[in-house]
Structure 1
Amino acid sequence: MTKTAAKAKLKEVLRDYEDGLAIAPTGYTVKDAVTDWLRYGLNGRDASTIGTNTILCNTHVIPALGARKLRDLSADDVDRWLAGKSKVLSTRSLEAIRSCLNRAVKRAMARDKVKSNVVELCSVPAGRPGRPSKSLTLKQAEAVLTAAEDSPIHAYLVVSLLTGGRTEEMRPLTWDHVDLDGASTATPAIPPHIAVRRSVRSSGDTKTRKSRRTLPLPGRAIDALKVQRERQGWQRLAAGEQWQESGLVFTSAMGTELDAANVRRELRKVLTRAAELPGMDIEPHVIKPDEWTTRETRTSFVSILSDGGIPLEEISRLVGHSSTAVTEEVYRKQIRPVIQTGATAMDGIFGTPPPPKR
């Protein structure tokens, strides 16, 4: 080792000592930190969550910053990295990759690999516009439900579109959480409803505590669920010993839970038929089936309610959000921005204007 190299090594050791690091991790890189986080820091998470984070790290974090020694990573490095990524990624994706790096460095910091977390000093720049959310108008929704009458997911579409349930809440819905009769003699009366209590998440629980909610069923949804129950009975007979009893409301022909990809594929078939219905004023260039996903039945629910004048507070409660701020942020394009309070108050104070003189 040369004298210059020895001096540099001594400076690193003294720096570690001053920083209070237990062992001088001079060769510990950003890649090491990220790899350790992916391996040990995601225990208990869904396989899909682990997979998504792994792809983000291997695609965007490690190739750009991985070779950098973690102790030498600066806020300027992170800022430049995010600025470069903002040219090709949406703002939401930028937030995701910054979160991956931030959590990896935070974990390394807790294990004395680095003194501070410079990622927390860096904000996310505006990225490219993300995939715009879409929603059906009332007329389009009517066309879709008409086109879905012969679809295996007819009841699923009716219930999700008319109640605003998340796709991960609808697929695990069980019959013991469905009440198609209600109790009109109770005080107060209990309408027919579904109880959202489960999700396809690994924990089996809903997304948040407020997501556990009871949703009254419109008449059209009640009728669809009655038909679904009868249809499922015939499927059970046809399947015989191959039927797998699950208690689920929406199932395959063998009684198993519907797969997300299959539901999405059936939805797109329905949208294709809806676009072809005569007199429905739905042109293929307006609804492009391949661009739609099942979560957009939920955005359609919000949009239709908002257009119908339902208060934001009520919409927020129905979709299971913790506050109206969350609803406004997630569904800002679906919420009708009408503020009438001031005009209503002034009409009450000054009265309505007299009719114009002719």
Structure 2
Amino acid sequence: MTDWLTDGRTGLDPSTVETSTLLSRKHVVPSLGARKLRDLSAEDVDRWLATKAKALSTRTLQTIHSCLNRAVRRAMARDKVKRNVVELCLVPQGRAGRPSKALTFAQADAVLKGAAGTSMHAYIVVALLTRARTEELRALTWDHVFLKGRPDFDPPQPPHIAVLRSVRRSGDTKTRKSRRTLALPARCVEALRQRFEDPGRERLAADEKWEEHGLVFSSAVGRPLDAANVRRAFRQALKDIDGVDAEEWTPRELRHSFVSLLSDRGVPLEEISRLVGHSGTAVTEEVYRRQIRPVIQTGAVVMDGIFGADPQRPWTRGNR
């Protein structure tokens, strides 16, 4: 494990290296590090995974299994062991994680108002009202923000942002359909215009430490934000808002809230799927199934509207 952690991850994204180091040193090395490699059996790995499954999520189990697998594979390529028993072991189901949730309209309205004046105000407004992913907003530059739109185009374009990049290692968005142009609601235009016109305080405070990267959302010294930066600032912005427990929410749930709010207003699933940049409705249903308003009653409700509600079914009234 030490050999792999030291020399076996050349070319990987720094965030991947950091995560694999943390998880390996916390979960792999203490449990299996003392075992001689030639004595490690599939049963040992199965028992280890089963024990870890009591406390870790399935995603984390997959990651630590992958770390051990890669380390043993590297050792096998160097004739330290004849076969890799880790590859023979299946990852069990881990603990269920906290399900994502969405802000109600009242909560979303309170967040938009309560975040005003904080460093995260423009970020929260744009994330909630445009459905952009946090990894996309962290990479957004002013070159891709068009607050006046492009009235000279045919047809004219309204104010918008061009989502063409992300903070992924390649710089690309999650999928090809994620490269999209998002029209900006008036509230977003106002928040971004204010951020563009009032950048001096951060630069002044940073003085010579300021780094210019052209980012719309950056750290106090102009550098790209990481996920921890955004999460911490997001919860700080929410801490004094009534009806919203800041510690219970994460920035990615602004995107879930966007889907939920649209679905509650009757926007079709196909349109929501297009707006969030998914390749099809199946992906949207899988990822946001808790945020999509059930439509199984739609046919019955519409037919009641056409032919009149059955007096024996009073619950259908008012559900249109």
TM-score (norm 1): 0.73
In structure 2, give the amino acid aligned to 1:200: V
Matches within 5 A, 1:1-358: 34-184=1-151, 186-232=153-199, 234-235=200-201, 242=208, 244-251=211-218, 255-258=222-225, 260-275=227-242, 282=243, 287-339=244-296, 347=303, 352=307, 355-356=310-311
Q: Deviations over 1:25-45 (max 9, x none)?
A: xxxxxxxxx333323332222
Q: Gapped runs of 5+ residues in structure 2?
A: 313-320
Q: Gapped runs of 5+ residues in structure 1?
A: 1-33, 276-281
Change in CA separation of 1:256 and 1:335 when aligned onto 2, cut-off 3 Å: same
Change in CA separation of 1:321 and 1:66 when aligned onto 2, cut-off 3 Å: farther
TM-score (norm 2): 0.81
1:141 Cα shift?
0.7
Q: Deviations over 1:249-279 (max 9, x none)?
A: 234565554565444333223322321xxxx
Change in CA separation of 1:40 and 1:230 when aligned onto 2, cut-off 3 Å: same
**Residues of 2 paired with 1:220 and 1:143: CA distance?**
14
In structure 1, give the amino acid aligned to 2:42: A
Change in CA separation of 1:153 and 1:51 when aligned onto 2, cut-off 3 Å: same
1:55 Cα shift?
1.8
Q: Deviations over 1:74-122 (max 9, x none)?
A: 3322222111111122222222222222333344444554454433333
Residue 315 of structure 2 corresponds to which residue in structure 1? none
- The 8 Å contact of residues 235 and 253 in structure 1, kept in 2 or not, is answered as no
In structure 1, give the amino acid aligned to 2:311: P
**Residues of 1 paired with 2:267 and 2:215: CA distance?**
31
Q: Which structure has the greater CA radius of gyration?
A: 1
- The 8 Å contact of residues 127 and 133 in structure 2, kept in 1 or not, is answered as yes
3-state SS of paired residue (1:144): helix
Change in CA separation of 1:41 and 1:352 when aligned onto 2, cut-off 3 Å: farther
3-state SS of paired residue (2:216): coil
Q: State the number of aligned residues.
A: 310
Change in CA separation of 1:111 and 1:195 when aligned onto 2, cut-off 3 Å: farther
1:180 Cα shift?
1.7
Task: Name whichever of 290-299 and 181-190 sits farther off.
Answer: 181-190
In structure 1, give the amino acid aligned to 2:292: I
3-state SS of paired residue (1:89): coil
CA RMSD of aligned residues (A): 3.2
